[in-house]
Amino acid sequence: MPTCVRVCSFDYPVVIFVEADLADDEGRQTIRSFTTTPRRLFVQVVQFKLPSFITSPVPRRAGNSKPIGYRHMCRFHAISVYRQPIMSTLSGIEYAWRLDDDSFLYRPITYDLFAFMRDRRLLYSYIQIRDEAPGLIRGLWETADEHVRAEGGDLPEFYATWKRTRIYYSNFEISAMSVWTSTKYCRLVDYIDRRGGIYYRRWGDAPIKTIAVTLLVPRDQTHHFVDVAYKHNIYTNRGRAKPP
């Protein structure tokens, strides 16, 4: 399950997360052959297993027939990725850009997206908002509501007015690490995680992170990158608009 980032001519570290079968010398060479080989390339091995609090039998397939491996991936991107050793080793990371192994950037990016985020004090950027099937988020938003009430906080307008079937298409996101490492985010996702819906119902990382963004990030600190030429699965953004 590689997660790859192509950084064009900008000298930023690139971290590729892989399972053990891609971590040997042959696997690393394969990874390098499919990238532009940035100067600072790191490979972090991840091992997936059910968390200890999942005690009831987990269905072999859940949601839209996704296997347990897919649900491991969802939990990884919502929670575990920010707790990987490499993330603390690479100190001073202010922003992170997530791309999947089947994400494609098919035109050069001519400006520094991280500097763009920093200079405008943005916290979260995305390339698409789409609808999620109601069956795949059954009980998720209600669980978030429970957590907010338990914390005694007020509901921000962003969260209160968000249509609950809408999600950020999180296979492309540039975000401030401070959002995901904050105490508020950690408490929120740990609460959601322990309800077990990631494994029993296939709650995805995209709706979980959408909840977090609408709860923790002011609306005016989000940004839609319409100019990046990007493809993932059947979605294509041709990036025809001029850069900002």
pLDDT digits (tens, 9 = 90+) for 69-125: 999 999 999 999 999 989 888 878 999 999 998 888 888 888 999 999 999 999 999
Query: According to the model, what pLDDT value does residue 90 have?
Result: 85
CATH number for position 159: 3.90.550.10
H/E stretch holding 215:
helix 205-216
Cβ atoms of 179 and 185 closer than 8 Å: yes
Q: Is the dihedral of CA 216, 214, 77, 89 positive or negative?
A: negative
Whether 173 is a known active-site residue: answer: yes
Domain extent for 116? 69-237
Structure pTM? 0.89
Cβ count within 10 A of residue 150:
10
Q: Which two tokens stand for residue 22?
A: 């891609």
Q: Which of 94, 132, 157, 173 is catalytic?
A: 173
Segments of the chain scoring below 70 in pLDDT: 1-9, 22-38, 240-244
Q: Structurally, how many domains does the chain consist of?
A: 1
* Domain annotation covers residue 2: no
- Is 200 contained in some domain? yes
Alpha-carbon gap, residue 6 to 36, rounded angstroms: 7
Asked, for residue 45, whether it belongs to a domain, the answer is no
Q: For residue 2, what pLDDT is reported? A: 36
Token pair 């920093």 is at which residue?
118
Tokens of 93: 């990371």
Q: Residue 110: its pLDDT value, please?
A: 86
pLDDT at 36 (0 to 100)? 58
